[in-house]
């Protein structure tokens, strides 16, 4: 017997009226929503075989309990198909994990989005885009799964822009920020396997993140060449004092160039770590580090981040000499990348 | 037709506020340093003003683990034992 739905019910004339009511009540991210009727919400819950009263997570600092019912209502509003719902639930479990430290990135002036990287068979089954226009428009699963998570943050966890979401700039990824790893074409160990899961499991990794920073290298046909460009861009990125997580997304051409040299993710990570140290003199001269210049500052170096906080992902279109890196929010000590199995 | 409310419905709860002191004279004040750059300098200044202009007896700094987490239980317990008042809430 399915559990009773306990959310407050509101009467509306029709679907158009419901869409307007969502705007009036501040439930929308700015785009029209699918009206969350009981039938639609129940079908959504069935998509993950969850009872309405199942507790998906607790945000302790906000004293908020997130029920499957509320997640399902927001997933309906976002336009998710019921088969997407297990991904949404796993991502919400991940942002409620204490290592993610929700209240920090969910509130901060730093304006983080929640980057969600989907791995495993479910990514192919749900057609989660791992190719052309990776972060861009066109894929229902990418757009609606991330939108559902953001609506949960807004409506359930209280992260409303201007109130408990104080992002100075925010970024477009705060509407939706979902990608899959291109496991079909990648020569490398998938991200979720590196993080302790089996290849046949499906998982989602969440990272509180800035927008993607694209870099371009059409000249090099060596791994060192491509990654030297990446490192040069990364080491002057916004979070150079933050020691945050960095996601490095290598698209088709760069992936093939680097793989042809026989480099695995571990070697890529080590190369980027070694090449992204900044000297104290550079950090002080560019206003990033306090204090007067001191003897030895030319050679005193600070790493951009810690080795294990560089996550390498194969994704993006086959054509074009572009890849990107994504700085995480704050520091990895304040908000860590969290991976959860999609059940 | 009917739609379901997507928001968390607030559960009513009663908060027991500590009694407000009528004077700062002779009080011990805990200052919570949230680790943000210069927050310690600002708090030292606040502490000095409280002592010089309001008769506070003593100020002591308590440092959080980092800016984005609540004060950890150890320092909360210590402040509860030691302080009459707490200054918190340093932002950007």
**Over chain A, what is the mean pLDDT?**
96
Which chain B residues contact residue A92 at CB under 8 A? Answer: none
Q: Is the pLDDT of residue A150 over 70?
A: yes
Q: Is the pLDDT of residue B90 over 80?
A: no
Q: Which tokens is A213 given?
A: 């920073």
pLDDT (mean) for A291-306: 96
Q: How confident is the model at residue A145 (pLDDT cuts 50, 70, 90)?
A: very high
* Percent of chain A residues topping a pLDDT of 70: 99
pLDDT (mean) for A257-267: 98
Answer whether residue A280 is part of any domain: yes
Those residues with Cβ within 8 angstroms of residue A54's Cβ, 6 or more apart along the chain or in another chain = A67, A68
**Cβ atoms A339, A205 nearer than 8 A:** yes
CB contact under 8 A, B69 and A333: no
Q: Which residue of A18, A103, A155 is in closest CB contact with B7?
A: A155
pLDDT in tens, B8-65: 977 777 788 888 889 999 999 999 998 888 888 899 999 999 999 999 999 999 999 8
**Cβ atoms A327, A209 nearer than 8 A:** yes
**pLDDT at position A220:** 95
**pLDDT at position A211:** 96
> Which of A14, A21, A36, A159 should be substituted to probe chain B, the one whose Cβ sees the most B Cβ atoms within 10 Å?
A36
**pLDDT at position B91:** 63
* Percent of chain A residues topping a pLDDT of 90: 95
pLDDT in tens, A239-252: 788 899 999 999 99
- Give the domain range for residue A283: 212-327
CB contact under 8 A, B2 and A73: no
Q: How confident is the model at residue A59 (pLDDT cuts 50, 70, 90)?
A: very high
CB contact under 8 A, A37 and B70: no
CA A148 from chain center: how many Å?
Answer: 13
Number of domains forming the structure of chain A:
1
Answer whether residue A71 is part of any domain: no
pLDDT (mean) for A196-209: 98
Which chain A residues contact residue B90 at CB under 8 A? Answer: none
Q: State the nearest Cα–Cα gap between B76 and chain A, in angstroms.
A: 15
Size of the A and B interface in Cβ pairs below 8 Å = 83
What number of other Cβ atoms are within 10 A of residue A298's Cβ? 12
Distance CA A156, CA B9 (A): 9
A72 by Cβ neighbours in 10 Å (0-12 / 13-18 / 19+) ranks as buried
Q: Is the pLDDT of residue A119 over 90?
A: yes
Chain B residue with the nearest C-alpha to that of A103: B68
**pLDDT at position A2:** 66
Answer whether residue A296 is part of any domain: yes
Q: Is the pLDDT of residue A1 over 80?
A: no
Answer whether residue A267 is part of any domain: yes
Contact of B8 with chain A, judged by CB distance below 8 Å, is answered with yes
pLDDT in tens, A214-230: 999 999 999 999 999 99
**pLDDT at position B12:** 72
Extended beta strands in A46-112, E state: 55-59, 64-67
Q: Which residue of B1, B9, B68 is in closest CB contact with A37?
A: B1
Q: State the nearest Cα–Cα gap between A104 and chain B, in angstroms.
A: 5
**pLDDT at position A239:** 78
Answer whether residue A27 is part of any domain: no
Q: How confident is the model at residue B92 (pLDDT cuts 50, 70, 90)?
A: low
Those residues with Cβ within 8 angstroms of residue A85's Cβ, 6 or more apart along the chain or in another chain = A44, A45, A47, A48, A50, A71, A72, A75
Answer whether residue A265 is part of any domain: yes
Is-above-0.80 flag for pTM?
A: yes
B58 by Cβ neighbours in 10 Å (0-12 / 13-18 / 19+) ranks as middle
């Amino acid at each position: 017997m399915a559990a009773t739905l306990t959310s407050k019910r509101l009467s509306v004339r029709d679907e158009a009226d419901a869409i307007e009511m969502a705007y009036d009540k501040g439930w929308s991210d700015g785009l029209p929503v699918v009206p969350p009727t009981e039938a639609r919400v129940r079908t959504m819950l069935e998509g993950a075989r969850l009872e309405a009263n199942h507790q998906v997570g607790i945000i302790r600092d906000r004293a908020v309990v997130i029920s499957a019912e509320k997640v399902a209502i927001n997933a309906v509003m976002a336009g998710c198909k019921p088969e997407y719902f297990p991904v949404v639930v796993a991502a919400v479990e991940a942002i409620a994990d204490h290592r993610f430290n929700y209240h920090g990135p969910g509130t901060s002036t730093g304006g983080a989005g929640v980057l969600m990287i989907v791995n495993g068979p479910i990514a192919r089954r749900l057609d989660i885009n791992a190719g052309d226009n990776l972060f861009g428009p066109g894929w229902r699963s990418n757009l609606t799964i991330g939108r559902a998570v953001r609506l949960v943050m807004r409506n359930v966890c209280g992260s409303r822009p201007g109130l408990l979401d104080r992002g100075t700039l925010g970024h477009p990824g705060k509407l939706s920020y979902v990608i899959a790893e291109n496991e079909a074409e990648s020569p490398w160990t998938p991200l979720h396997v590196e993080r302790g899961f089996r290849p046949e499991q499906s998982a989602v990794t969440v990272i509180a993140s800035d927008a993607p920073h694209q870099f371009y290298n059409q000249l090099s046909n060596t791994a060192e060449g491509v990654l030297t460009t990446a490192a040069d861009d990364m080491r002057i990125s916004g979070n150079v004092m933050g020691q945050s997580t960095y996601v490095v997304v290598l698209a088709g051409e760069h992936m093939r160039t680097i793989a042809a040299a026989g480099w695995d993710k571990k070697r890529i990570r080590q190369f980027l770590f070694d090449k992204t140290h900044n000297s104290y003199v550079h950090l002080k001269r560019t206003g990033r580090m306090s204090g007067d210049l001191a003897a030895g500052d030319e050679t005193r170096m600070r790493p951009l981040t810690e080795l294990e906080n560089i996550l390498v992902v194969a994704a993006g279109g086959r054509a074009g000499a572009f890849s990107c890196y994504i700085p995480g929010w704050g520091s990895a000590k304040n908000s860590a990348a969290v991976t959860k199995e999609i059940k | 037709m009917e739609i379901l409310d997507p928001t968390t419905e607030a559960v009513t709860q009663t908060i027991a506020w500590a009694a407000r002191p009528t004077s700062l004279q002779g009080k011990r004040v805990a200052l919570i340093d949230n680790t943000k750059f210069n927050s310690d300098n600002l708090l030292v200044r606040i502490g000095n003003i409280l002592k010089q202009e309001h008769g506070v007896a003593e100020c002591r700094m308590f440092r959080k683990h980092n800016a984005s987490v609540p004060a950890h239980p150890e320092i909360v317990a210590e402040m509860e034992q030691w302080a009459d008042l707490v200054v918190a809430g340093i932002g950007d």
